[in-house]
Amino acid sequence: MNTVTSDDRNEDARPLIACHECDLMQREGFVPPGGTLRCCRCRAVLYRRRGRGFERALAFALAACVLWLISNAFPIVGLAVNGDLVETTLIGAVRVLYRDGMWPLAGLIFVTTILMPALQALGTVWLLLPLYLNRRPWRADAVFRLLRVARNWGMTEVLMLGLLVAVVKLAHIASVVTGPALWSLAALMLLLVAASSAFDERAMWMRIEGSPRGMPADTPLAGRTAAASGICVCHDCGLSTRGTLHHDHLLCPRCGARLHLRKPASLSRTWAYLIAAAILYVPANLLPVMNTSSLFGAQKDTIMSGVAYLWHSGSWPLAIIVFIASIAVPMLKILAIGYLAATANLRMTQRSVQRARIYRIVELVGRWSMLDIYVIAVLVALVQFSAMATIEAGPAAIAFGAVVVLTMFAAMSFDPRLIWDSAPPREERP
Ligand SMILES: [Zn+2]
Ligand SMILES: [Zn+2]
């Protein structure tokens, strides 16, 4: 893949763009099809140009719609006990949790594994099918923003890993029968990833609007930040618009997202979410996450004892994965966001590149903590043999789900441009 830095060449004819992560204005280099444009200061990806991405993204999304239907209509896994087969669908697992009074957990699982993947596939089709037929998509602005939310909160890939862990755990209890939805979910996961990586957002806006929209014509030269020139960069579509510091109600003229020079009260909101997550991290690890009652008595499992169980039963690769996803990642995420927020509070000027890298890693790995929530959901839905054994979700499961959601909110509230605001400005190379 070709990687281009945005100040590789210097011709005044090249359009000015602002980096969404560090806010530096720079002149855009030529990007060949399949190439990537990176920020010359923070190395954030500014633009990936897709060759024939349009048709491919549409085809992947249409196939994903069909697979979503299959994934939700058929059972995922079943347990064969004494000749009886107990099976569960995805919505069946949600229903069992809801019935047991675990509605926050049921809601979280419904949104991240059923609703958001559907919106991901439908939103892509909604935007790209009319364009393919040379028409304008209706309400492209709202659907585009919805698609961005759906990509953040759709977690099909984490669900797949959760199902794998659950199947291994269940194999110790009874014989596991895989259902058709397990395979279609795996294919759905791949198609959603393929559709979103083939989706060229800039090319889509070009086709909707007919011409590229750049910076306002009288923008001062590059090498300064957009905020210093009174330019707001849209968090969603990347469009640059002239704004003022005190204008709170400015909307992006292209996608309708709220615009601000910096996210309002970014650091105080980040700290609030972070402190709440750190407090809930304690009960999430100390209280039982799962209650098992059987003929041989009742057993309460914490997250750590679940890891120990996997380790002793010989599934040590899964034990390591669950340990990393459920115990290490949430704790490291709280520490990493705390470090980013504290250094931004102190207006630290050093190590900006490393801090920007930490921010990107936090955004990338945070979602994997949902793993244990999905494992619990599948176990609870399947192990419901009232006489022999029943598994219920424990109070720690809700606390743990809240930690995952709160740390995701904390990462979303943090404005990465604060990392660079105290850094010395970098002049564009002559
Ligand atoms: Zn940058
Ligand atoms: Zn926008």
* C-alpha 113 to ligand 1 mean position (Å): 33
Mean pLDDT of 111-115: 96
Taking ligand 1, which is a single-atom ion, which protein residues have CB atoms under 5 Å away? 19, 21-22, 39, 41-42, 44
* C-alpha 238 to ligand 2 mean position (Å): 6
> Which tens digits make up the pLDDT trace of 21-72?
888 888 877 888 888 889 888 888 888 888 777 889 999 999 999 999 999 9
Cβ atoms < 10 Å from Cβ of 172? 12
* C-alpha 235 to ligand 2 mean position (Å): 7
> Which tens digits make up the pLDDT trace of 290-329?
888 877 778 888 999 989 988 998 888 889 999 999 999 9
pLDDT of 246 > 70? The answer is no
The ligand whose atoms approach the alpha carbon of 234 most closely is 2
- Distant-in-sequence, close-in-space partners of 275: CB < 8 Å, separation ≥ 6: none
> Which tens digits make up the pLDDT trace of 232-241?
888 888 888 8
> Which tens digits make up the pLDDT trace of 143-198?
999 999 999 999 999 999 999 999 988 888 788 999 999 999 999 999 999 999 89
Domains with residue ranges and CATH for the chain: 1-49+214-253 (no CATH), 53-155+173-199 (no CATH), 266-415 (1.20.140)
The ligand whose atoms approach the alpha carbon of 37 most closely is 1
Judge whether 145 and 258 are in contact, CB under 8 Å: no
> Which tens digits make up the pLDDT trace of 328-377?
999 999 999 999 999 999 988 888 899 999 999 999 888 899 999 999 99
Using CA atoms, how far apart are residues 123 and 186, in angstroms rounded to an integer? 20
* C-alpha 18 to ligand 1 mean position (Å): 8
Cα of first residue to Cα of last residue in the chain, in angstroms, is 27
* C-alpha 7 to ligand 1 mean position (Å): 12
What's the predicted TM-score (pTM) here? 0.89
The ligand whose atoms approach the alpha carbon of 205 most closely is 2
List the structure tokens of 227: 């905020």
List the structure tokens of 171: 């194999």
Interstrand relation of 77-81 and 84-88 (parallel, antiparallel or unpaired): antiparallel
* C-alpha 416 to ligand 1 mean position (Å): 9
Cα–Cα distance list, 319 to 15, 81, 86, 324 (Å): 51, 26, 26, 9
Judge whether 15 and 27 are in contact, CB under 8 Å: yes
